[in-house]
Structure 1
Amino acid sequence: MTRKDLITHLGLIAVLFALHFLLPTYHHGIFARVMVLAVYAIGYNIAFGYTGLLSLGHAMFFGAGMYGMGLAAYHFAIPALPAWLIGVGCAALLSLVVGLLALRTQDVSFMIVTLMFAQAAYLIILYFSEFTRGDDGFVVPSDMRAIGPWDLSDESTRYIVALILFSGALMISLWLVRQPFGRVLVALRENEERARLLGYDTGRRKLASLVISGTISGAAGAAYAGLFGYVGASFAGVQYSIFALLWVLLGGAGTVLGPFIGTLFMFYLIDLATEVTEAYMLIAGVALVLLTLFAPQGIVGEIRRRLWKDLP
């Protein structure tokens, strides 16, 4: 990890911290939400952007973290921090089990298998509706949304906690891709057969990548439940797997900053489009097509290609 890497990424964190005092209430709330969802995208980027594992089922890891945290607080009155750890543990365990099964396949088959697992997880949530509240979801009790004296429903506290979570995920991602392990993941993405011939245990490294990816995504889901107080089945649906893919592609797959930039861009694109027309997804779709045509490597990917060759 170079000094320039640290300055760039710590600089982003410093800017986000300064915005805490500068943003109006509406945008303050959006940025808190974007930071949490960007952590989900960071997790997805480790599997897809760096390892080349195109998953259509990552929402199940986000949902595992969300329901692990939410159900622990809702049914068992477990406080926020231990409940968050339970959510992270649920996502880690699920990603390990799914990885052991899904990684027996590859390419299109892997994509389809992860999609099937995600759909199964979504249907399980609906089937056990007496416990999960199904499609309606449930609100996390307000007295369970506190860490010591800090109330997570408070806008200021919510932003700071979201920033802490995002900063941790961002720096872990940066550290990971600058380590030999991260270099091997890129080698797997580019040419798995050659990496295998060089003596690397590709299966074990892909499993490790998927578990790390799923755990980070689950940490985002658990934080979302605690910070915004709602748990619903839609967050575990296939569309949330597609969202993560879009955020990463928009920002730049295989870049550390790409997931955040892509999430922020998509959020504000849809927000502005809703002010113009009810068919806001049409505007979003046109913008996505144009971005794909003229910036195929994503926003940060194009910056790396044109201006900054060493940007991680």
Structure 2
Amino acid sequence: MTDRLRTDLLHLGVIAALVVLFLTLPTYYAGNLSRIMVLAIYAIGYNLLFGYTGLLSLGHAMFFAAGMYGYGLTAQLAGVPALPAFALGILAGAALGLVVGALALRTAGVAFMIVTLMFAQAAYLTILHFGTYTRGDEGFVVPSEARIVFGIDLSGETERFAAALILFALVLLATGRLVRSRLGRTLVAIRENEERTRMLGYDATRLKLIAITLSGALSGLAGAAYALLFGYVGASFAAVPYSIFPLLWVLLGGAGTTIGPLIGVFFMFYLIDTASGITLAYLLIVGVALVLLTLFAPQGIAGLIKRRLPWLP
């Protein structure tokens, strides 16, 4: 069996496992799967930039928010139907990724992190400044008619899960193919040794710009999906925590692996959920667990699995 076939079977198995979990878990836990899959798409977008290309961004919330507001504002203010508004959300994330990437790539290392954080803060403050339209931290509810796709109301639990699963499956399978393609392998080469990649004749700056744009598009897709499926748009999703979350998810799940983002989101989501049911100081428990996991599994959960299964993408 080839590694490519093993990878495809692994991804299909993950998708099938999510369906089984939805059908067997209690209602509360099954209902969380939709949110986990949407956030996992966001983490996959971040992983493409950080895990595969080696660029550490501290401002990814601006791409998530761009997709969310790209969808939400066009649906609310212009009355655009769900699918065109959703496409505009993805386009907003990609366009912002292209613009920010073209400017941020003039820097490198720590400076790149700081520049992305500054852009994210500027985006957050812009949302607050135009509160007349964005409603600031209060946010707004997406009109019910803008959550209907092909006559199906996505506010229902089963319909929401099906839509989230379809989006996650498409992103997971597409990402799996991308990282095995020539572009994906070149991005990994940039991560490992950018200077040598340049010496081989590759335009590393152009390739990194492509990676940022694709990452912005996936993050924008996640933001638009969140607004579409959960019916809410708010400035809190553009704040600093939502730039730190994807970094934690990817580090915990396993940077540079296709299933790591889902594992990281799943682990952290239920870690916070369980700890908050035990004590009000749940962040202390979460922090200790994260430190221990980072110390004893620095390559993440999927990284541990990859030691035994080297073909894991």
Q: TM-score, normalised by structure 2?
A: 0.98
In structure 1, the residue matched to 2:128 is: 126
* Counterpart code for 2:36: V
Q: Which of 31, 50, 53 pairs up with 1:51?
A: 53
Q: Deviations over 1:161-206 (max 9, x none)?
A: 0001111111111101111111111111111001101111100100
1:243 aligns with 2:206: no
Q: Which of 197, 207, 210 pairs up with 1:208?
A: 210
In structure 1, the residue matched to 2:312 is: 311
In structure 2, the residue matched to 1:97 is: 99
In structure 1, the residue matched to 2:43 is: 41
Q: Deviations over 1:223-274 (max 9, x none)?
A: 0000000000010111101000000000000000000000000000000000
Tell me the distance in 1 between the aligned counterparts of 2:38 and 2:92.
18
Q: Which of 11, 14, 20 pairs up with 1:12?
A: 14
* Counterpart code for 1:198: L
- For 1:1-312, list aligned pairs within 5 A: 2-305=4-307, 307-312=308-313
Q: Deviations over 1:50-101 (max 9, x none)?
A: 0001000110000000000011111111111111011111111110000110
Q: Deviations over 1:124-143 (max 9, x none)?
A: 00000001001100000112
Q: Which runs of 4+ in 1 moved over 6 A?
A: none
Work out the number of aligned pairs and report it.
Answer: 311
* Counterpart code for 1:46: L
Which segment is superposed worse, 285-294 or 20-29? 20-29
- RMSD, aligned α-carbons: 0.8
Tell me the distance in 2 between the aligned counterparts of 1:277 and 1:19.
27
- Unmatched tracts of structure 1, length 5 or more: none
* Counterpart code for 2:198: R
SS state of the match for residue 193, structure 2? helix
Tell me the distance in 2 between the aligned counterparts of 1:81 and 1:22.
31
* Counterpart code for 1:309: P
CA shift, 1:24, in A, is 2.1
Q: TM-score, normalised by structure 1?
A: 0.98
Tell me the distance in 1 between the aligned counterparts of 2:7 and 2:291.
31
- Unmatched tracts of structure 2, length 5 or more: none
Which segment is superposed worse, 124-133 or 71-80? 71-80
